[in-house]
Every structure is written in C-alpha cells, then in structure tokens.
Amino acid sequence: MLKLASKQGSVSKVEPYVEQLVSRYNLEPDKKCNILVSLTEAVTNAIVHGNGMEEGKTVKVKTKRESDCLALRVSDEGRGFDVNDLSDPTTPDHIAECGGRGVFLMRQLSDNIRFYNNGSTVEMRFKL
C-alpha cells in the first residue's frame, strides 16, 4: 500500500510505486504507461479535488493481483462526487478547457473502472 499526504509533491511518489509493480508483475511497457498515467491522474484528483490539498488528509493506493488483472484502488478522505456529473472533455464546449480530462483518461487507459463511496474511491483494473 502507498499512503500519501495531500500535497502536490506527493504525486512524484507514484512513478517509483509503478516501477515496483512493473518489476513485481513483469508488466509490458504499454501496460506500464497506462497504469502510470491512470494512477497519476487518480492520485492527483484525490489530492486536489477529494482532499482539497489539506495536508492532514491522506490518499491511499492499494494494489491487488487477481487471476487475470491488476486492480489499483485509490481512496481519499473527501465527500466524493457524482461521476455522472462530469462533462465529456471531447465535446466542442469542453475541448479547449485546461482541465477535466483525468477521469476520461483513466477510463480510456484502464480495462475497467468503478467508483465507490460516493466517488471518494476509484478502482481501476488492468488486464495482465
């Protein structure tokens, strides 16, 4: 498990964590990239949106190997959000906006994604 303080610098700990997963599970380079981008987005969202950058709050990353996939679960201490309220960043109204692509990228790069606890926990699965 990876436990992070809710400050922007904590995101830098994601890449070494993913490198450990690559070694432990012998992941292919394309899988590594998908996991790295998805996990970075999930942790950033948890720190910024979930915990509001409150350093006293933590973000937890749990990893579980299942028969055919690797499940990554990111949890924050925030109130959560309704994933159905997110705008589609590919529509003309939103294409030029600076943010709003994190969950979209996570959906595109993972094989399965689910939200729990009113959106304060996201679980992404990657086929092995």
The CATH number of whichever domain residue 90 belongs to comes to: 3.30.565.10
User: Which range marks the domain in which residue 93 is found?
Assistant: 2-127
Summarised one tens digit per residue, pLDDT across range 32-88 is 999 999 999 999 999 999 999 999 999 999 999 999 999 999 999 999 887 777 666
Number of structural domains found in the chain: 1
| pLDDT given for residue 102 in this prediction | 77
Query: Would you state the pLDDT for residue 12?
Result: 98
**DSSP secondary structure string, the chain?**
-EEEESSGGGGGGHHHHHHHHHHHHT--HHHHHHHHHHHHHHHHHIIIIISTT-TTSEEEEEEEE-SSEEEEEEE-SS----GGG---TTSTTTTT-SS--HHHHHHHHSSEEEEEGGGTEEEEEEE-
pTM: 0.90
